Every structure is written in C-alpha cells, then in structure tokens.
Amino acid sequence: MPQQTAPDPLMEVLRTACAQVGLSVVAVTTASSVPDHALYLAWLAAGFAGELSYLHRDALARQDVRSLLPEAKSVVTVALSYHHPFDDALHPGHGKVARYARGRDYHLVLKARLQALVDRLTTDLAGSGEPLLSRVCVDTAPLLERSVAAAAGLGFIGKNTLLITPGVGSYTVLGELLLSTELPTSQPLSPRCGDCRLCLDACPTGALTEPFQLDARRCISYLTIENSGEIPQPLRAKLADWIFGCDLCQSVCPYNVRAQPGDAELLPKPALCSPELAQLLTIGAAQYRQLVKRTALRRINRTSLLRNVAVALGNVGTPAQLPVLGTALLREPELVRQHLAWAVAELALRHRECVSLATQLLGQALAVETEESVEQALRVALGRLSQADEVQAAAP
C-alpha cells in the first residue's frame, strides 16, 4: 500500500477556519513575484487596457505581492461562486446585467468573510510565535489576482482570460488573504481548454483577439462599466441588451454547464435580473441610488447607466417605448442624449412603422438642443431615417 502522508497541521487549521466562514474553495501559494507579470506589462504596452490608467500607474506594484504586505510569506486565495439559475433569453424591451452584479456587492461579502477568517486564524494560531500579520484583498488592491489564484492551483486561466475552477466553473469572485505565516502551497493546474474556442466565437465585439488575449477596449464589460465616455458607434449594435457587464464568454463555457448553485448571499435581486429599459430611463437620482445600493452597480454613475440603457433600447426596444426615449431626449445629460439620438433612429429602423414618430421626436429635440455634440448626433439620426425613407420609396 502507498504510504499515507500525514495532513499538515497548519493546513488543517486553515481549511477548518475557511469552512467555518463559508469559504470552501481555497488554495495557497507563496508570497513572491507574480509569474505572469511580464505578460501583463506586454498587455499594457499593446494598449489593450484602454483608458484604465490606474493599471499603468500601479503596474510595478503588481509585480510582487509583498508590495502589499512586506512581511507576507503566504497568499490564501479563495473563490466564491455566484452561479445561480437564470433566464438568459433576450426579452424585447428588457436589459441584462452581468450575473456577478445582480446580487449583493461581492466586495462586501468577501471582505467580511476574509476578515472573519483572519480573526479565526489569529485565535487558532495564537501562541505559535510571531504575531500574525495579514492583509485582505478583494479586487481593488494592485494584485494580479487571477495569476496568483492560478499559481495557487485554485483553477486555471481559460481562453477567455478568466479563472476556471473545475467543478465550480468561472462564475466566481476572487479574494486573497496575505499572511505572515508560511503555509504549505498547492500545485498549479494545467490549462484544460484543449481545442475548444466557444468563448472566442461567442464574443460579438471580437474582444477576445486570440486565445488568452483580451482587448478591453472592445469588451462589453469595459464599454458599459469602465468607459465613462461615448460608446463607439460601430460597437453599439453588438452590445445587444447588455446594460452592465457581459456574460457571453462564460455562458458558453463547458465548465459552467454542470456548476453547482452559487453562494446564497450572492443570490440575484429580482429587480436586476431582467429590468425594463424604459422604466430605468425614467429613474431619478434618488431612485438610482436605491437601485444600486450595496450592489456592484455602484461602480458606475446614473449617467453611464442611462447611456447603456439608451443603447440597449436602440437594440431591443419596442415601439411602445419610443415616446419615453423622446422625453429623455429633452432632459437627460449630454452624453445620454447623444446615445438616445442614435437609439431613436435604430429602434425606428427596426420597426419601420415608427419612422414618422421617430422623425418627429428627433426634430423636436433638435429645435431646442444647445450642445453641438448632441446636435450632430440628432442630425445624423434624422439623416439615417430620411435615407431609409428614400430607399423604401424607390423600391419597386
């Protein structure tokens, strides 16, 4: 019989503490330089980060996890699943929010559990010598968390650049706990995507330029969240009904097909599962704050959300929602009005019976518009409708 290896006492303490605070998916790596840092610098140099200037600013800090805690010897990496059954079909007049943002803000959930883990470890390891120093990291610290998680064996990096944990999938949020105690490390997993390219083929904007390479500038998540300005017109139709983030490259991944239901604390809120776009377009500042309270949607402001809603209405809006767009054209911020002009024309071109009303709404907005950028967007939209009418009139 093969010789049985005795379990390491420290790892037993860690796994028990993790289970007690609701962190069952856990792995450990050494606090040291990050293996993929050179690839990260090359990715930045290629311009794939877009306008995410903070990634350049703290690029060197991401080279070694000890820049966050000089005394760190180990990194405990954890994953929390937000995979819950949902209707992924396109519903006219309704939008989609990425799964991770439909429930309670994962930053709050993971930070609380990792801090609870620190408290338990501090008690369990008391009397072992040096005091336990630690730092909790959830998303916002300058840390290449997917690379660190892969080095720890928590999962492997898929062709869509996301961490995939066998048996759990990729619908996970990651957290890290830097510790001054040396723990036994886990072994990395080898990539297991094989010849599959479902995620690359599913991306409508071509953001996955090749396996393991993401051009954030074309990613729907970047365009709807990180991008605070105009969404490029050639990409607007490709956003379909997404108003915050995107799940397309994950929804087709075979590793997510049999994934177990996610954490109960990350259950989706009904209001964020398939929100009615016209209703979102009418919410005021106070209603917006209530909608995004304690959710990841706090990442963007009301103007950015309504910009996204406008694009989605252009793509999947119904004729009954056209008057709401017309009203918003007269009152919303400049950035939103630019996208509303495009949306009114786009909706009318999909529903030709609306061309007359759309032309009227755009003309009314143009008559009172004072911002040059919106005036231009309105004229372009009116030109599209006029050209469509001419083509239709000339048809035999």
Tokens for 100? 């991770």
The residue to which tokens 């336990």 are assigned: 132
Tokens for 322? 């056209």
Q: Is 74 in contact with 28 (CB distance < 8 Å)?
A: yes
The residue to which tokens 């911020």 are assigned: 333
Q: How many CB atoms lie within 10 A of CB 386?
A: 12
Spatial separation of the C-alpha atoms in residues 288 and 326, rounded to whole Å? 20
- Residues serving a catalytic function are 139
Find, among 197, 152, 210, 214, the residue nearest to 177 by Cα. Answer: 152
Instruction: List, edge to edge, every strand of the sheet that includes 134-137.
Output: 25-30, 74-81, 172-179, 134-137
Spatial separation of the C-alpha atoms in residues 387 and 75, rounded to whole Å? 61
Strands 242-244 and 96-97: parallel
Spatial separation of the C-alpha atoms in residues 22 and 18, rounded to whole Å? 6
b/e 49-85 (16+ beta carbons within 10 angstroms → b):
bbeeeebeeebeebbbbebbbebbbbbbbbbbbbbbe
